[in-house]
Structure 1
Amino acid sequence: MKISKIIKLLILILLVIIVINIKSIFKNFYPIKYENKIITYSKKYNVDPYLVAAVIRTESNFDDKAVSNTGAYGLMQIMPDTAIWIAGNMKLKDFNTEKSFDSETNIAMGCWYLDDLNSEFNGDLELVLAAYNGGRGNVKKWLKNKKYSSDGKTLKNIPFGETDKYVKKVKINYRIYSKLYANEIK
């Protein structure tokens, strides 16, 4: 009888400890690596740092050496042709695609690109993320197609399954980062 009460008390104490430390526990599962670089370039390019962290987590899980099956590079998984185009627009000197593995360069380019997509798609997060993953040209086509967009401004569905899953995953990660680190990153 006494052992049963002791076990129940220990379980209650353990639960209280978990509840008190829940944010810290979740931060181990949702870290923000490269925080200073994310803050620097998200400010410079007017992008929410929690969105940048969510994109990086979804794209590479913070692995700066990641290469996708389609050949995208680095933390924010930028395709070589897109990286060259971004570098030209950013006026980066002596850029080559190997520099996409440099965390600072990759985050700067990814933030610039998210800002560019934000401008093009009027800050519509779903369109921005769909364009980031599936290509801005595809998003423009989908918006013109009544099958995917009834108003030419929003998508009722995304025809690429991978892109649809990607958008949902980034949005979930974005909500988690926004709540978990609320007001910690500015």
Structure 2
Amino acid sequence: MKRFKALIKIVLFILVIIIFLNKDFLIKRIYPLKYEEYIITYSTKYNVDPNLVAAVIKAESNFDEDAISHKGAYGLMQIMPDTADWIASQIGMDDITYDMLYNPEINIRMGCWYLDNLSVEFNDNIELMMAAYNGGRGNVQKWLKNDEYSKDGENLHLIPFNETKRYVKKVNRNYKIYKKLYNLK
């Protein structure tokens, strides 16, 4: 019995060493980076931090280009059809079909443009941008005007939608991790 316990301790010790030596590899399996070329290209074109784009993709679809939400959002960055129509009109994409939102390049291009648009509206405030991305820009504007949610009209001290509150926290966590793991530029 003593030999068995000693063997278990040795095996566990070896496992801990293996995990420690491969922690970046293991973390990168949990926080993958796919479509890096498109992320870099379009985040550069639209002046958005590529680490934030990766964080949004991780939160929205976990890098599944075929993802569709229960609300009908499509692709990597989970773009809603009406938002896709509006973005397409703004960036000169004629004849957009919703199936095109499953194309990683198109989805990332539209998502990066949209993040830039939110960045301009919300003065680069990532919390407000992410709240708007998830809960709607109109809602965020209303919340900023309400003392119950914003003390200064520029930041939210309370997000009334639980899903949006969780989403903002998730993207912020992902953002820190992607900056540390990949530090995309």
Q: TM-score, normalised by structure 1?
A: 0.92
SS of equivalent to 2:76: coil
Q: Which residue of 2 aligns with 1:131?
A: 132
Q: Which residue of 2 aligns with 1:171?
A: 172
Q: Which residue of 1 aligns with 2:47?
A: 46
| CA deviation after TM superposition for structure 1 residue 59, in Å | 0.8
Query: Does the C-alpha gap of structure 1 residues 18 and 145 become closer, same or farther in structure 2, counting only changes over 3 Å?
Result: same
* Mapped pair 1:109 → 2:110: yes
Q: Which residue of 1 aligns with 2:162?
A: 161
| CA deviation after TM superposition for structure 1 residue 28, in Å | 0.8
Q: Which residue of 2 aligns with 1:84?
A: 85
Q: Which residue of 2 aligns with 1:70?
A: 71
Deviations 1:43-83 (A, max 9, x none): 11111111111111111111112111111111101111111
Q: Which stretch has the larger CA shift, 137-146 or 168-177?
A: 168-177
Equivalents in 2 of 1:102, 1:133: separation in Å? 21
**Uncovered stretches (5+) of structure 1, i.e. residues with no partner:** none
**Residue type of the partner of 1:89?**
Q
Deviations 1:13-67 (A, max 9, x none): 3322221111011111111111111111111111111111111111111111211
Identity %: 59
**Residue type of the partner of 2:44?**
K
Equivalents in 2 of 1:27, 1:57: separation in Å? 12
SS of equivalent to 1:158: coil
Q: Which stretch has the larger CA shift, 91-100 or 149-158?
A: 91-100
Equivalents in 2 of 1:100, 1:136: separation in Å? 21
Equivalents in 1 of 2:9, 2:69: separation in Å? 49
Equivalents in 1 of 2:5, 2:128: separation in Å? 56
Equivalents in 1 of 2:23, 2:130: separation in Å? 29
Equivalents in 2 of 1:7, 1:141: separation in Å? 59
Equivalents in 1 of 2:70, 2:18: separation in Å? 42
Q: Which residue of 2 aligns with 1:142?
A: 143
Equivalents in 2 of 1:81, 1:115: separation in Å? 18
| CA deviation after TM superposition for structure 1 residue 173, in Å | 1.3
| CA deviation after TM superposition for structure 1 residue 3, in Å | 6.3
Equivalents in 2 of 1:4, 1:143: separation in Å? 60
Q: Which residue of 1 aligns with 2:123?
A: 122
| CA deviation after TM superposition for structure 1 residue 98, in Å | 2.2
**Residue type of the partner of 1:171?**
N
Q: Which residue of 1 aligns with 2:59?
A: 58
Equivalents in 1 of 2:131, 2:123: separation in Å? 13
Q: TM-score, normalised by structure 2?
A: 0.92
Aligned residues: CA RMSD: 1.6
| CA deviation after TM superposition for structure 1 residue 6, in Å | 5.4
How many residue pairs are counted as aligned between the two chains? 184
**Residue type of the partner of 1:69?**
H
